[in-house]
Structure 1
């Protein structure tokens, strides 16, 4: 009998622990924010906001900046909000977190409880476990600045033409990503207006009798905008890791706007990426 009771107790304890681990968020746990119809409410996120849900039709929102959510009360909805005060839930999803806030409509007499700005803090975030996303844009930016200050060795690859040059200064591995440190120089008196900078995996040798296979890889991050440079320029690009056989190369192509022959191409061997240092 004692053994049966012990087994039952173990089962109940296990069920309780499982319930605690899978328990969701209740309304009592969600922070409460006071709003009014006279001012906008801004949520400031430490990361880029990728998704927003407003549970009430009385609210409208937009993203004036990548990490700023602005919410306003629709004027026609104010009478109904005054009668019930509940203005619904706001759900904000960043690159690595999800958070929710309960909004309560307050009259202008409660000015001391009405919020105009909310900083999304770590204490209010729940982490997201999304396969394939291991770093945020903030992580990329911080590591890119570190790479700029890293001591440079001999350039990995360089191509010059038309008084221009493009150089692959450094290649580093960062988790599931590759960081490329690229430099550009212009020895002419004409500024270079960038049309495109493209990253491709292409055939090493092109035969006329075969179709050319080209796979373009889009960067997931670049440190600075790249539109024009007059003499010299340096930028950091982050790409998702990709494997390719020895008969292909990784090409970086720079082209200029308008009618121009000032185009440059730098090639990297697969070994250049395989031998990249870990950052």
Structure 2
């Protein structure tokens, strides 16, 4: 009930966002961040960053990770290999040297960059984008960000797994279960559990999802289509006894002549591999949140 109410409020919020223009920003209202030569400033986003705009050539940067923007003052022509200026700075203390705009999946955040001289020993080297700095970006009301999908997956994994899983395969003292399938909007969530009944721990090399023909005729090749989850809740690759995880996919369909094949592959030459076939009818019976 709590989860259903949360989703309802989220959908209403998304709908209202799509109907309302983003609030205008003026430079004087932007939060300030300080920067100096020879220091990299890391801006950390709670969502994957789509792009970063630097308003002047005085600033340069890159994206070393999907949710981190790395910004610095553009190297002066007379700087050494470490970026240290060998001539007096071209900036004055307190100068506004540009605007940083960070666009994520569901928000935009902007900062006014202020120069501080190198004598300041208390320079901040990283900041986390705070909710008060975020402005919602208009987007399709039925599209969810990775942050929202992760929240849904967390809510699923906090539930007790089904006593009678939809599918279960056993081999080599391994048990591989599809506990349940959930759907919200155009997203499919697979709740899966792996159990190891041996004393030998299991190292996951890969968990492959694909669509394959139910029947393979000698005269034809098997038509296989790989499916890639857009998110998995836990990236863990090693477990001793039990491991439960949630895998999220964009909506997919397949005919009755095909099955979804899930292969759990161990990271060993003589690895223990276990396969599971899931019929489309079982996907169509997915629970809603």
2:195 is the alignment partner of 1:179: no
DSSP-derived class of the 2:256 partner: coil
Q: Deviations for 1:78-127, whole angstroms, at most 9, x for unmatched residues?
A: 72222992312211111211222221224468899x76554433443332
Unpaired runs of 5+ in structure 2?
A: 1-19, 77-84
2:246 corresponds to which of 236, 240, 249: 236
Aligned CA distance change for structure 1 residues 258 and 204 (closer, same or farther; 3 Å): same
Q: In the alignment, what sits opposite 1:149?
A: 158
What are the superposed Cα offsets for residues 32-62 of structure 1, whole Å, 9 maximum, x if unpaired? 4343337554434232323222233333435
| CA pair 206-157 structure 1, distance change in 2 beyond 3 A | same
Q: Could you say which structure has the higher helix fraction?
A: 1
The answer to whether residue 256 in structure 2 is matched with residue 246 in structure 1 is: yes
Alignment correspondent of 1:189 = 199
Partner of 2:61: 61
Does structure 1 residue 163 correspond to structure 2 residue 173? yes
> 1:140 — aligned with what?
149
Return the alpha-carbon distance in structure 2 between the equivalents of residues 157 and 173 of structure 1.
17
CA distance in 1, matches of 2:258, 2:32: 56
1:53-92 aligned within 5 A: 53-63=53-63, 66-74=66-74, 76=76, 79-82=89-92, 85-92=95-102
2:81 equivalent in structure 1? none
Paired with 1:133 and 1:92, the residues of 2 have a C-alpha distance of 23
How far, CA to CA, are the matches of 1:27 and 1:272 in structure 2? 54
Indicate the residue corresponding to 1:11 in structure 2: none
TM-score by length of 2: 0.76
Deviates more, 1:158-167 or 1:137-146: 137-146
TM-score (norm: length of structure 1) = 0.79
Q: Check if 1:105 corresponds to 2:115.
A: yes
Mark the structure with the bigger radius of gyration. Answer: 1
| Stretches of structure 1 lacking an aligned partner (at least 5 in a row) | 1-19
CA distance in 1, matches of 2:141, 2:271: 39
Give 3-state SS (helix, strand or coil) of 1:140's partner.
Answer: helix
Question: Is the Cα–Cα contact under 8 Å of residues 22 and 135 in structure 2 kept in the other structure?
Answer: no
Instruction: Name 2:130's counterpart in structure 1.
Output: 121
* Structure 1 Cα separation of the partners of residues 44 and 285 of structure 2: 40
* Cross-structure match for 2:265: 255
Shift of 1:265: 0.9
Once the two structures are overlaid, the 10-residue window that deviates more, 95-104 or 44-53, is 44-53
Per the alignment, residue 11 of structure 2 pairs with none
Counterpart of 1:270? Answer: 280
Report the Cα offset of residue 167 of structure 1.
0.5
CA distance in 2 between counterparts of 1:245 and 1:230 reads: 37
Query: Deviations along 1:219-253, whole A, 9 cap, x unmatched?
Result: 11111123122222111111111011111111111
Q: Secondary structure at the match of 2:46?
A: coil
Give the Å deviation of 1:170: 1.2
